[in-house]
Amino acid sequence: MDSLAAAPGTGPATSPLPILRKPRPAAKFADLPTGRTLVMGILNVTPDSFSDGGQHATADTAIAAGLRMFYAGADIIDVGGESTRPGAEDVSPEEEQRRVVPVIEALVKAGALVSIDTTHTSTAAAALKAGAAIINDVSGLTMEPEMADLVASSKAPYILTHRRGDARTMNSLAEYKDVAGEVVAELAGVRDKLLAAGVGPDQIIVDPGLGFAKNDAQNWELLQNLDQLDSLGHRVLVAASRKRFLGSLLTVAGKAAAPEERDAATAAITAISAFRGAWAVRVHDVGPSLDAVKVASRVAAARTTH
Ligand code: PMM
């Protein structure tokens, strides 16, 4: 707080950008807390993401929002410049980099640990150069297989998300006999490609890709079977925040809950994921998930005394 002229987290989303007086040392992945589930805050610098699109469309509003999440306690800030919602239009890597690089630079300078949410190798490389520490590729290496070489050479942690097809085709590819078994097998196949490219097993974080080529029932089945993902032997990230299957669950009078009405349900999933030992959750609303992690950790730590 001492390095800021104005305390973040206190003003509305459009409050002026807090002025950084002195840069902080860069945060390191190795310094992340262990022994509890981490909370990754979502920062979409896009005009069209499904739940926060347009909110942080300029660098200044995005940086202010990222700083608010950082000072609220987010362990990682996940910065993205391209919407991945079903049916979203492609964004050129140049435009994506124009959106994310200044935001990453400012957040890293403030001491935040940043991940880059991209399917483009050139954007991942530009983000690493700007100080990002983690590559979050929702395509699961399917868009640009050469991403594996960047992951190997940079030694950056890599979030490997399960997805079939792309933003336009994935909804038609949600056909599974055993969704958890098939997701694990398909993730293992991509994981093996990463290892063959020289990526270390410790660099890999697996994500079941909720909502990516999965219908509502399949998302719930994956959450019920998170332990099967553990069998891969990597850290597990759960990214359910505000997703459509939560809106459907919370339908009232035939109307699905709007994205911003899904945060309590998101925190409930955080509690379940944390209790099951997930490495991290990826959420829009950081505070309730931090509380949910504390609750899950406390229950897990309680011992029967009689
Ligand atoms: N979902 C979105 C974007 N990025 N990254 C990971 N690792 N896992 C996800 O499920 C995921 C993601 C969907 O859009 P959002 O940014 O609006 O949540």
The rounded Å distance from CA 50 to ligand 1 centre is 10
Q: Look up residue 232 and give its two tokens.
A: 């891969």
Point out the residues of the chain with pLDDT beneath 50: 1-15
Q: Is 243 a catalytic residue?
A: yes
Residue 44 Cβ inside 6 Å of ligand 1? The answer reads: yes
44 CA: nearest ligand 1 atom: 16
pTM of the model: 0.91
- Set 243, 244, 262, 276: catalytic member: 243
pLDDT for the residue numbered 54 = 67
pLDDT tens figures, 172-217: 888 999 999 999 999 999 999 999 999 999 999 999 999 999 999 9
To which residue do tokens 């609750």 refer? 295
Distance CA 238, CA 289 (A): 12
Asked if residue 2 belongs to a domain, the reply is no
Q: Could you tell me the CATH number of the domain that includes residue 236? A: 3.20.20.20
Asked if residue 114 belongs to a domain, the reply is yes
Asked if residue 29 belongs to a domain, the reply is no
- Domain span at 212: 34-304
Asked if residue 16 belongs to a domain, the reply is no
Asked if residue 168 belongs to a domain, the reply is yes
Domain count across the chain: 1
Residue 201 · residue 178 · CB < 8 Å? no
Q: Look up residue 128 and give its two tokens.
A: 């690493």
Asked if residue 21 belongs to a domain, the reply is no
The rounded Å distance from CA 85 to ligand 1 centre is 8
Asked if residue 217 belongs to a domain, the reply is yes
Residue 299 · residue 275 · CB < 8 Å? yes
Asked if residue 143 belongs to a domain, the reply is yes
pLDDT for the residue numbered 167 = 79
